[in-house]
Amino acid sequence: MKKNARRPTDAELTILQVLWDRGPSTVREVYKTLNSGKTVGYTTVLKFMQIMTDKGLVERDENCRPQLYRACLPREQTERQLIKDLVDRAFGGSARRLVMQALEVKKASPSELAQIEKLLKKLERGEK
């Protein structure tokens, strides 16, 4: 499978977020969760989830009825893949440029800044 084929679209990412928050879910459960904020058709959600299964973004448990869908990758791994792609495409591979832009665009709370500082110290020590 192509590397880019696994990158979720915005709509697919919305569905993945529901699955990460709820855990394994039926199409109807995802549909109801999505409809709490906006109107989307059941068949649209079903079609997206079928496409996402083909792309390897979600897996379907066919041993139960109704079928349950779950994300193939954890949220953190998908976020890392998306960030890596963004750094490569938009920032010429520069993590510094990404971080600088992110902090200029969206003000970080003191708590978030403390977490960033803690991560930087950890990275300086060579820890992961």
Take residue 14 and report the two structure tokens written for it.
């919305």
**Looking at residue 37, what is its pLDDT?**
65
Task: Tell me the average pLDDT across 15-27.
Answer: 97
d(CA 1, CA 10): 20
Q: Which amino acid is at 88?
A: D
Q: How many percent of the chain have pLDDT more than 90?
A: 78
Task: Tell me the average pLDDT across 14-40.
Answer: 92
**Looking at residue 7, what is its pLDDT?**
87
Tens of pLDDT, residue by residue over 71-90, are 999 999 999 999 999 999 99
Residue 8 predicted with pLDDT over 90: yes
Beta strands in the chain (DSSP E): 58-61, 68-71
Residue 51, Cβ density class (10 Å: 0-12 exposed, 13-18 middle, ≥19 buried): middle
**Looking at residue 39, what is its pLDDT?**
79
**Looking at residue 1, what is its pLDDT?**
36
Write down the mean pLDDT value for the chain: 91
H or E element at residue 28: helix 27-34
Question: What 3-state class would DSSP assign to 126?
Answer: coil
Residue 10 predicted with pLDDT over 50: yes
d(CA 70, CA 59): 6
Task: Tell me the average pLDDT across 18-26.
Answer: 97
CB 82 within 8 A of CB 74: no
Tens of pLDDT, residue by residue over 82-122, are 999 999 999 999 989 999 999 999 989 999 999 999 999 99
